[in-house]
Structure 1
Amino acid sequence: MSTATPFDADATLMSDATLMSEVTAAVQAAGRTLRDRYTPHARGTSLTEIVAEIHANDAAVLDVLREPLLRARHGSQWAEDELAGGALPPGEWWVVDPAEGNINHVHGMEDWAVTATLVRDNQPVLTVVHLPLTDDTYTAVAGGGARLNGRPMTVSAKTDLGGALVGTGQAKPGEDERTFRRIGDSVTAMLVAGLVVRVSVPATMQLIHVAAGRTDAFWQFSDVRSGLVAGALLVSEAGGVVTDLAGEPWSTAGRDFLAAAPGIHAAALKVLSPIV
């Protein structure tokens, strides 16, 4: 006779929602650390100096963020490499970017954030994205909706790709030449099919706009988890569609990514899927 406890989706949702306040507090505290390190001018002129600044930001924020998150979820594990991709082992993992948009931060620009996402069996189930300069906090729980500062978000209602504002960007420096060519070809294709194309980093800063209905789609030829899991959950919980470029549901094992308003997802997929 089996003694396994039946899965209770409502109880899991309640548990994740209860966790949200602790995660939000930890991410906002980490955001204050990153904000205190910010200057409105570029820091570092050589590649060596820039990389050193990036690593210093990561280290300072992780000192504040790591222990509170692991303590908040007993038994959870930490995904160490923020640039890693592919599926994680079974269980619950914190996928964190202590300075999402770090390259922008060290160049004195404003597009950066702190993100923390709980991934359960390779699906994001809870996320917090905090923008310290504006004090905006984006949150989502699987099955519980997406919110900006506590207010529900909804993706765009557009149905015409020709009127859409869409975006993409590289996931990390040093991608292979084939990936760079696919990015270039996709931008050209979307410049023809869409209205305006944004090419910028980081991914999360574009995906929060898709979730909030400000932009209509974002795609990326990459599987870097930390740049996609937060936005994937925010967009899907705001009513968007998140797939790979074959049209299959996206997971951390996916090799590419498309998040879009439901009214233009199919048209965007038709434009992007032939690009190899």
Structure 2
Amino acid sequence: MSGYQELLPHVVKAVREVGAFVAARHTASAVGGPDVDGVIAVFRMVDAPASELLRERLAALRPQARWAPDEIGTAVAATGEQWVCDAVDGAVHFLQGLPYWGVTVTLVADGRPVLAVLDAPHLGFLYTAVEGRGAHLNGRPLKASGKDLSAALACTSQPPYNREPERAGASLTAMLRHTLAVRNLGPTALQVAQVGSGHVDVFWEYGEDANNLLPGALIAREGGALVTDADGHAWTPASPSFVAAPAALHADVLRVLAAVPAHEAA
């Protein structure tokens, strides 16, 4: 494991430090100007120093690992080690004064996630995972749900690189007909991680969203969930779709999605 398990507590310490820094600057009401530029300016006042602090701490722990250049993107290095991080994951929620945000850190080795930490300070959730060593929530091993699909809470999100918005919309209708409820509960990474802990039963998404999916994908998989694309193939950062669900539900989810027609360009 190249010392990933031994690295984990040091990454947790760094993530919690950054989480405390951001939490101290969070308010219970919406902030920012009346337009997009004003909102972005306020966010950068928190995100820029938080990101720099996170990068400084992680570089000291794993100096050979590269740094992903963009928090919103799909390019993940195929070889070597790379940090994929977001100091304020859930920027919109943070700015709206909502508690659904966190700090995410994933160490990617040769194109696959091998270590992940997700800290949501205001929710009291600290998820950790190391490839082959399991996943934990607040120090306790994860346990995915055992519900039938008809009783399941299914969650989804809309990534910035979705070339099939019509299919995403059709899949929402399909899932609404087969599950108890469909919701969007905040940052993508957190929702996927919650599949591993049983707070969420199913998460699916269409579109390329590697940076947001990587931490939750490892946490959910190490927690016992199956993580694939919508066709049932092993998920990779380059996959055009994503499904995370317990083994008992996974095949049913794929059957629902298989009935959703792909959009044909005019």
Global fold match (TM > 0.5):
yes
CA contact (8 A) 1:87 1:122 kept: yes
- Correspondence list, 1:34-49, <5 A: 34-44=22-32, 45-49=34-38
Question: Aligned partners of 2:94 and 2:214: how far apart in 1?
Answer: 21
Q: How many residues align?
A: 260
1:104 corresponds in structure 2 to 93
Question: Aligned partners of 1:129 and 1:71: how far apart in 2?
Answer: 19
CA contact (8 A) 1:82 1:225 kept: no
C-alpha distance after superposition, 1:54-73 (max 9, x if no partner)? 33332121121001112211
Secondary structure in structure 2 of the residue aligned to 1:117: strand
Question: Aligned partners of 1:231 and 1:185: how far apart in 2?
Answer: 24
Secondary structure in structure 2 of the residue aligned to 1:40: coil
1:143 to 122, 132, 135: 132
Secondary structure in structure 2 of the residue aligned to 1:228: helix
Runs of 4+ in 1 over 4 A off after TM superposition: none
Q: CA deviation at 1:265?
A: 0.6
CA contact (8 A) 1:54 1:103 kept: no
Q: CA deviation at 1:225?
A: 2.0
2:5 to 17, 27, 52: 17
CA contact (8 A) 2:101 2:186 kept: no
1:195 and 2:180 aligned:
yes
1:210 corresponds in structure 2 to 195
1:239 and 2:227 aligned:
no
Residue type of the alignment partner of 1:226: N
| Residues 61/90 of structure 1: CA separation in 2 closer, same or farther (3 Å cut) | same
1:259 and 2:244 aligned:
yes
| Residues 236/128 of structure 1: CA separation in 2 closer, same or farther (3 Å cut) | same
1:85 corresponds in structure 2 to 74
Q: CA deviation at 1:86?
A: 4.0
Residue type of the alignment partner of 2:252: A
2:157 corresponds in structure 1 to 169
TM-score (norm 1): 0.90
Secondary structure in structure 1 of the residue aligned to 2:164: helix
| Residues 69/114 of structure 1: CA separation in 2 closer, same or farther (3 Å cut) | same
| Residues 275/122 of structure 1: CA separation in 2 closer, same or farther (3 Å cut) | farther
1:76 corresponds in structure 2 to 65
Q: CA deviation at 1:208?
A: 2.5
Residue type of the alignment partner of 2:65: S
Q: CA deviation at 1:167?
A: 0.7
CA contact (8 A) 2:203 2:244 kept: yes
Q: CA deviation at 1:194?
A: 1.2
Question: Aligned partners of 2:261 and 2:40: how far apart in 1?
Answer: 32
1:29 corresponds in structure 2 to 17
Structure 1 vs Structure 2: percent identity of aligned residues? 38
C-alpha distance after superposition, 1:54-96 (max 9, x if no partner)? 3333212112100111221131000011111144231111000
Question: Aligned partners of 1:39 and 1:100: how far apart in 2?
Answer: 16
CA contact (8 A) 1:136 1:148 kept: yes
Question: Aligned partners of 1:184 and 1:228: how far apart in 2?
Answer: 19
C-alpha distance after superposition, 1:213-248 (max 9, x if no partner)? 122110111222221011000100010000011211
Secondary structure in structure 2 of the residue aligned to 1:215: coil
Secondary structure in structure 2 of the residue aligned to 1:219: strand
TM-score (norm 2): 0.93
| Residues 275/140 of structure 1: CA separation in 2 closer, same or farther (3 Å cut) | farther
Question: Aligned partners of 1:244 and 1:205: how far apart in 2?
Answer: 18
| Residues 86/245 of structure 1: CA separation in 2 closer, same or farther (3 Å cut) | farther
2:39 to 50, 58, 68: 50
Q: CA deviation at 1:98?
A: 1.0
Q: CA deviation at 1:132?
A: 1.5
Q: CA deviation at 1:207?
A: 1.5
The Cα RMSD (Å) is: 1.5
